[in-house]
Structure formats: structure tokens, C-alpha cells
């Protein structure tokens, strides 16, 4: 699953948009999201959001719904770092998935992390609690 995350991340980093390839990566993440690491989920979503791949489309909503279900497992969100949680929340907003319950759960997980610094807190607060 790491290869999917690496590919999405590197495409975004280079500004290379290939809709068909991203559709394939989205399909893999949707069907196998429980096998992805927190970093894999975060990087794949970050890549799709950075390239603004099909925001609001049924495919993206299905993928984000599957991820939301996988993350509801006890303790799953606590495995994410602050950066990964911020990327997750940011990608959900950019990709137009306003699952308020999941965003609230992400916000609660961020609040549990005691080592949060000022910049990270400011970014997380803006994305999680004051979306557009």
C-alpha cells in the first residue's frame, strides 16, 4: 500500500496530474483502506487534494466514506501524528467531504496530543473548527 501513497504524494509534489492514474489509486485506497498506514492514508489524500482531483465526486465521497469507517475503529485515529491529522482534515475539506462527525473525531484526536506546538495548533484549529 506504500507504493500507492508514494505515487500520489510524488505526483502532487511534481504537479503532475493524471486523472486516470489517480482514479486507480483512489479505487485501491477505497477497497483496501484498512491495510494502509496512517501515513499512507494521509499522503494519498494529500496528493489527491493537492492536485484537486475530482472534489465532490461520487468516487471521492465513496473513498472518504470508506476511510471514515476504517478510522472509526477504536484507537485508529490516535495512531496518526498531528501532521497526518491536519493533512487528513485539510484533504477532506478540499475534496468537499464535510463529514462533520469524522472532522470532530479528528479534532478530538488532535486535542489529545499533548506535544502540539503553536503553528500546528493554529493550522489544525483553522481547518477543523473554522472550515469555509
Which residues form the domain of 64? 2-129
pLDDT on residue 13: 93
Q: Are 106 and 68 in contact (CB under 8 A)?
A: no
pTM of the model: 0.79
Q: What's the number of domains the chain is made of? A: 1
Which letter does DSSP use for residue 34 in this model? G
Helix (H) or strand (E) run with residue 104 in it: helix 100-112
Q: Which residue has the higher pLDDT, 118 or 14?
A: 14
pLDDT on residue 128: 62
pLDDT average, residue stretch 14-27: 92
Sequence-distant (≥ 6) Cβ neighbours of residue 93 within 8 angstroms: 127, 131, 132
The pair phi, psi for residue 18, each rounded to 5°, is -135, 95
Amino acid at each position: 500500500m506504500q507504493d500507492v501513497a508514494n505515487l500520489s504524494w510524488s505526483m502532487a509534489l511534481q504537479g503532475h496530474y493524471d486523472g486516470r492514474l489517480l482514479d486507480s489509486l483512489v479505487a485501491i485506497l477505497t477497497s483496501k483502506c484498512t491495510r494502509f498506514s496512517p501515513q499512507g492514508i494521509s499522503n494519498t489524500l494529500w496528493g489527491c487534494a493537492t492536485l484537486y482531483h475530482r472534489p465532490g465526486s461520487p468516487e471521492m465521497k465513496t473513498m472518504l466514506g470508506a476511510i471514515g469507517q476504517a478510522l472509526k475503529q477504536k484507537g485508529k485515529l490516535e495512531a496518526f501524528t498531528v501532521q497526518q491529522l491536519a493533512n487528513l482534515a485539510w484533504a477532506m475539506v478540499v475534496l468537499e467531504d464535510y463529514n462533520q462527525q469524522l472532522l470532530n473525531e479528528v479534532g478530538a484526536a488532535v486535542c489529545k496530543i499533548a506535544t502540539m506546538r503553536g503553528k500546528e495548533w493554529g493550522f489544525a484549529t483553522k481547518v477543523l473548527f473554522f472550515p469555509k
